[in-house]
A = this chain, B = another copy of it.
Amino acid sequence: MLSIGELSRKTGVKVPTIRYYEQTGLLAAPERSGGNQRRYSTAELERLAFIKHARDLGLSIGDIRELLDLSAHPDRPCTDANRIAANHLATIRDKIARLQQLEAELDRIANGCHGERIENCYVIESLSNHALCKTPH
């Protein structure tokens, strides 16, 4: 059995975050030691590792909850799991596309300033006047 600190070290999830997951029902309340401290089994370690991995991939807690529920039913079709993954992939691609637009515009703005003083600073000017922008955002 692992203490919460050991579980934290093994998974890379911070101690308060583990307690927070328990509080919100993402993790079940674990066994307790004589002195009322949490004690975790290997199954719980695996569940948390799953959560951490999914969080690292950017999945929302809601999605993760759904995936965990699914994984408890090995005989169900895996269309839902695939849908969640595909949706998230689409979200990420969308985010990348939007960030790339921002990148282009910001590059132009950040490298377009050859002024010396705020008076004629292209950064300030560009923010003041949207019409100076070359790309949509």
Residues of A within 8 A of B (CB): 46, 49-50, 53-54, 56-58, 67, 70-71, 73-78, 81-82, 84-86, 88-89, 92-93, 95-96, 99-100, 102-103, 105-107, 109-110, 113, 115-119, 121, 123-124, 127-128, 130, 137
Contacting residues, chain B, for A121 (C-beta < 8 A):
70, 78, 81-82
Contacting residues, chain B, for A54 (C-beta < 8 A):
127
Report yes or no: B57 in contact with A123, Cβ–Cβ below 8 A.
Answer: no
Report yes or no: A74 in contact with B117, Cβ–Cβ below 8 A.
Answer: yes
Contacting residues, chain B, for A117 (C-beta < 8 A):
74-78
Contacting residues, chain B, for A103 (C-beta < 8 A):
89, 92-93, 96
- Work out how many copies of this chain go into the complex: 2
Known contacts A77-B116, A82-B113, A99-B95: does B57 contact A106 (CB below 8 Å)? yes
Contacting residues, chain B, for A53 (C-beta < 8 A):
127-128, 130
Report yes or no: A106 in contact with B128, Cβ–Cβ below 8 A.
Answer: no
- Complex formed: what's the CA distance from A102 to B88 in Å? 10
Q: Nearest chain B CB to A114's CB is how many angstroms away?
A: 10
Q: List 29 A-B contacts (CB under 8 A).
A: A49-B128, A49-B130, A50-B127, A57-B102, A57-B109, A58-B99, A67-B123, A67-B124, A67-B127, A71-B118, A74-B118, A75-B117, A75-B119, A77-B116, A78-B113, A81-B113, A81-B121, A82-B121, A85-B109, A85-B113, A85-B123, A88-B110, A89-B110, A92-B103, A92-B106, A95-B99, A96-B96, A96-B99, A96-B103
